[in-house]
Amino acid sequence: MKFSGKTLAIAAVAGGAILASVAPVMADVSAQSPSAGLVRVESPAKLKAWGAAIAVQVTYTCPAGSQASLQLIVNQAKFGGVAVGSAYENSLNCTGGFETLTLNVQANDRPFGLGEAFAKASINGWPNVSAKDERTIRIGL
């Protein structure tokens, strides 16, 4: 079957019109879909009580009305071992916007020191709230 240039042009215009009419509907559906949540560990953290703890800011978002919790684990290589600590927040304020929370992470066996550390944060909740962030942060004064 052979098509003329005019026939192909009409088919292209018709296809474009169909796509143009469907695209706004697709965009509207994605705008109504709730976010699953986001979390980010901020840097620098602040050394507290000679390294017994660090104050770490974590920025998160979860859909308004959701119930979620946040866990933060920090590891820092030290001479002779690793300083480790964790913090947990059970009831996050889920507004649908970005919120920043300061968590005090207590060192378990060794004190934290100035310098780099590795942090891992995760947010989990209901319904369908799940996200994590892993990054190197700095610990300062």
For position 70, what pLDDT does the model report?
Answer: 97
CATH number at residue 124: 2.60.40.10
pTM for this entry: 0.73
Do 27 and 65 reside in the same domain of the chain? Answer: no
Asked whether residue 28 falls in the same domain as residue 44, the answer is: no
Q: Are residues 69 and 88 in the same domain?
A: yes
Whole domain around residue 19: which residue ranges?
1-33
- Taking only the tens place, the pLDDT of each residue in 100-131 is 999 999 999 999 999 999 999 999 999 889 99
Question: Is 92 in contact with 69 (CB distance < 8 Å)?
Answer: yes
Residues 16 and 63 occupy one common structural domain:
no
Residues 9 and 69 in one domain: no
**Is the confidence at residue 5, as pLDDT, over 70?**
no
For residue 57, list its beta bridge partners: 102
pLDDT at site 36: 80
Please give, one letter per residue, the 3-state secondary structure of 22-57: HHHHHHHHHHHCCCCCEEEECCCEEEEHHHCEEEEE
Pair of tokens at residue 35 = 């976010």
23 with 43, same domain: the answer is: no
pLDDT at 3: 53
What is residue 17's predicted lDDT score, i.e. its pLDDT? Answer: 47
Contacts of 131 (CB under 8 A, 6+ apart): 36, 37, 38, 39, 60, 122, 123
Say if residue 76 is in the same domain as residue 118: yes
Q: Which of these, 51, 58, 61, 83, lies nearest to 72 by C-alpha position?
A: 58
Helix (H, G, I), strand (E, B) or coil at 7: helix
For residue 24, the model assigns a pLDDT of: 45
Are 71 and 4 in the same domain? no
6-61 confidence digits (pLDDT tens): 544 454 444 454 444 444 433 433 344 445 899 999 999 999 999 999 999 999 99
Count up the domains in the chain and report the number: 2
Q: Say whether both 82 and 106 belong to one domain.
A: yes
Same domain, 18 and 43: no
DSSP state of 68: E
Residue 76, pLDDT > 80, answer yes
Q: Is 33 left (phi over 0), alpha (psi -120 to 50) or beta?
A: beta
Q: Which pLDDT band, with edges at 50, 70 and 90, does 2 fall under? A: low
Q: Across-strand partners of 77?
A: 82
Residue 90 and residue 126 share a domain: yes
Give the pLDDT score at 34: 44
**Alpha carbons 45 and 16: distance in angstroms, whole number:** 52
Judge whether 102 and 57 are in contact, CB under 8 Å. Answer: yes
Same-domain status, 43 and 21: no
